[in-house]
Structure 1
Amino acid sequence: MLKVFRSNCTRLFELTLQTLEKGAWLKLVNPTPEELEQVVAATGCPLDFLKAALDEEERSRIELDEDFMLVITNIPVTRGHDSYDTLPLGIILTPEFIITVCLEANDVLADFNPENARAFSTFKKTRFLFQILYKSAALYLKYLKQINRRTDEIERYLRRSMQNKEIFQLLELQKGLTYFAASLRSNGIVLEKLLRLRSTSQVQHLIKIYEEDEDLLEDVIIENKQAIEMVEMYSRILNGMMDTFTSIISNNLNRVMKFLASMTIILAIPTMVASFMGMNVDIPLGGIHGGFLATLLFAGAVTALSAFGLWRKDMF
C-alpha cells in the first residue's frame, strides 16, 4: 500500500505520485514491487533503501548515500494476547521528501493522521524523523507497562493454582522482553549516531537540526534509555518469578509424592496382616472365638502407630 501526504501546519492532505509536492511524506506499508518502482521513479531513491526494511530480521542502522539517508529502527508490535515482537521501520530522508517503509501497519505511524495534523509537519523532515523515533520509544514504554501489569495478574493466578497455562504466558512475556531488549539497544546506537551526525557536513543538506530538534532528539535518547532500564528490570523480575514458581511446583510435587508414599506404607500394613491370617494352614487364633476381631484390632493398632510415627516425621 502506498499513500502520499503533505501537511501545512494545520491540515494533512493526501496526494498522489502525479501531484507530488516538495515536503511530502510517502508512506509505504507492505508495498508491491510495482509501488516500489513507482517511488523510485518519482523520488530517485535507491531501490535497496526501500527494500531494506522489508526484511523482518533487519537490525537498526543508518546508511548514507550522496543525496539519501536511510534510518532503520525497530518498533514494537503486538501479535495477540501476551505476545510482543519488534518490526523494522525504514525512514528515508531525501532533499525533498521523507519516505517510510514497513511490512505492516503499526501504531507508531498510525498516530500521524489528520486528527493530529497540528502536532507534526511533513515538510520539517528532521523533526518529523525525531517525532517518529520518539513515538516508537514511547510505545515501548507503554507496552512494557502492559507487560508489567500482565505479569502481576499472572502472579495472582499462580498463587491460587499452579497451571501450565500461566507458566506458558510468563514464557511468552519473557520472549517479548528479549525482543525488546535487543531492539532497544540497537536503536540506542542509531540515536547516538544521529546525535553525532548533527554537525557533520556530509548530511547538512538532509538533516537540519535546530535547537528544538536537538532537544527532541535528546528526549528520544532519554526515553530509549529508560525503556532499556525497564526491560532489564522487568526481565530480572520475570526470571526470578519463573524460577520461584518452578521451585514451588517442584516442592508441591515432592509433597504429593511424600503423601502418596506414606499412604502406601499405611495401607500395606493391614494388607500384610490380612495376607498372613488368610493362609489356608493352621494359624494362631484360628480356632478361637473372636479371633477375627482380634486380628482386626491388631492390624488397626499397628496401622495407627505407623501413621502416628509418619505424622511425627512430617510425612503427611
Structure 2
Amino acid sequence: MIRYWKKDGAALVAVDAPGRDVWVDVRDVSREDLDILEKDYGVLAEHLQDMLDVDERSRIEKEDSYTMLILRLPIYDSRYEVIYFTVPVGVILFKDRVVTVCASDCEVLQELSGGKVRDLSPANKSAFVLRLMGRAAIVYLRYLKDLNRRTTAIELELQRSIKNNELVKLLAVEKSLVFFTTSLRSDELVLEKLQKGVAVRFKDDEAELLEDVATDFRQAIEMCNIHSDILSGMMDAFASVISNNLNIVMKRLTIVSIVLMIPTFVVSVFGMNVPFPAGISSSPIAFGLIMGGCAIAAGIGALLLRDRKVKPKKALLAPAAGALVLPLAKK
C-alpha cells in the first residue's frame, strides 16, 4: 500500500498524488507497489528485493539518481511466539522526495505518519533520516523496557513453580534481545557512516540532533547487553535449580527403594520353605510378628537414611583474628 504525505504548516497531511517534497510511504508491500517503485521511480529491482529480505543487514548504497539506506527497525506482533523482532526498512532519498519501503507495518513509521515526531519534513532529507532513526531508538528503548517487565513476571512464575511454558517464554525473550542487539549494532554502523558525511550531508544546526540520536542508540545497545547478561544468568540459575531438584527426587526415590528392600528380603527368605524359628510357627500372631519386624526394620532404615539438615556454623575467622590482635596490643 502506497500513501503520500506532505508537510502542511506544522503537521503532515495525506495527499492523493506524489509531488515535490513528498514522503512516499510504502507499507505492506504488494507486487503492484514494487512495479510502481521500479518503473515510476527507477528503483533497482535488487534494491527492492534487499529491502524485503528479512535477513538483510543495515547499509548505505549510493546510485546516480538516489541514495538508499537500509535500517533495521523494531516491530511488535503478538501472532508469533517471538513477539518482538526487527524488520528491514528501506529509505530512498531522491532530490525532490523521500521513499520508505517496509514489507509490513511498524510502530516507527506509524508514529512518523501520525504526527508524533516534531518538525518532520520530507523536504529536508537529512533531518528526515535523523528523526526516523531517533524515533527508532526511542521505540527500541520502549520495547526493551517491556521485555524487562515480561522477564520479571516470568521470573516470579518460575519461583513459584518451574514449568516448561515459562522456560519457553524466557527463550523467546532471549531471542528478541538477540534480534535487537544485532539490529542496533548494524544501525549504529550506518549512523557512524552518516556522521562521517557518507551519502548524506548534514547541516550545521543538525549536529546536535545527530549526537542525540547516536546517544540514544548507545543507550539502547547498553540496555540490550545488560538485559542479555541478566537473562543468561537467570537461565543458568534455573537450569541449576532444575538439576538440583532432579537430584533431590532421585535421592528420595533411592531411599524409598532401599527401605522397601528390607521387608522384601525378609518375606522372600520365608517364602523359600525356610522353617520358622521355634515357638513362632505355631503362634497365631506369627504373621503379625514378622510384618511388625519388617516395619520396624524399614523404619530404622528410613531413620538412618533420612535427610539430615546441617545447621549453619558460626563464623570463627573474625573472632579468632580479633583474639590474636588483642594480646599483641597489650604487649
Q: Give the TM-score taking structure 2 as reference length.
A: 0.85
| Structure 1 runs (4+) greater than 3 angstroms displaced | 39-51, 114-119, 278-281
Higher relative contact order (CA 8 A, sep 6+): 1
Residue identity opposite 2:298 in structure 1: T
**Are residue 169 (structure 1) and residue 169 (structure 2) matched?**
yes
Residue identity opposite 2:75 in structure 1: V
Structure 2 unmatched runs, 5+? 310-331
| In structure 1, C-alpha distance between the alignment counterparts of 2:248 and 2:117, rounded to whole Å | 63
| In structure 2, C-alpha distance between the alignment counterparts of 1:260 and 1:33, rounded to whole Å | 64
**Could you say which residue in structure 2 is the equivalent of 1:222?**
215
1:122-176 deviation line (CA, Å, top 9, x unaligned): 2222111111111111111111111111111111100110100011111111111
Give aligned pairs, total: 305
Compute the displacement of 1:209 (Å): 2.1
> Could you say what secondary structure the match of 1:21 adopts?
coil
**Are residue 62 (structure 1) and residue 60 (structure 2) matched?**
yes
| In structure 2, C-alpha distance between the alignment counterparts of 1:174 and 1:69, rounded to whole Å | 35
User: Residue 302 of structure 1 is aligned with which of 270, 273, 297?
Assistant: 297
| In structure 2, C-alpha distance between the alignment counterparts of 1:82 and 1:133, rounded to whole Å | 23
> Could you say what secondary structure the match of 2:100 adopts?
strand
Q: Please identify, of 29-38 and 89-98, the stretch whose mean Cα deviation from structure 2 is larger.
A: 29-38
**Are residue 282 (structure 1) and residue 237 (structure 2) matched?**
no
Residue identity opposite 2:76 in structure 1: T
> Could you say what secondary structure the match of 1:53 adopts?
helix
| In structure 2, C-alpha distance between the alignment counterparts of 1:51 and 1:30, rounded to whole Å | 14
**Are residue 239 (structure 1) and residue 241 (structure 2) matched?**
no
Compute the displacement of 1:307 (Å): 1.0
Is the Cα–Cα contact under 8 Å of residues 188 and 224 in structure 1 kept in the other structure? yes
> Could you say what secondary structure the match of 2:132 adopts?
helix
User: Residue 250 of structure 2 is aligned with which of 257, 260, 264?
Assistant: 257
| In structure 2, C-alpha distance between the alignment counterparts of 1:143 and 1:36, rounded to whole Å | 30
Is the Cα–Cα contact under 8 Å of residues 91 and 98 in structure 1 kept in the other structure? yes
**Are residue 73 (structure 1) and residue 66 (structure 2) matched?**
no
Compute the displacement of 1:237 (Å): 0.7
Compute the displacement of 1:283 (Å): 2.1
Is the Cα–Cα contact under 8 Å of residues 4 and 15 in structure 1 kept in the other structure? yes
| In structure 2, C-alpha distance between the alignment counterparts of 1:62 and 1:98, rounded to whole Å | 15
**Are residue 26 (structure 1) and residue 24 (structure 2) matched?**
yes
Residue identity opposite 1:8 in structure 2: D
1:234-264 deviation line (CA, Å, top 9, x unaligned): 1111111011101101110111111111111
> Could you say what secondary structure the match of 2:54 adopts?
coil
**Could you say which residue in structure 2 is the equivalent of 1:13?**
13
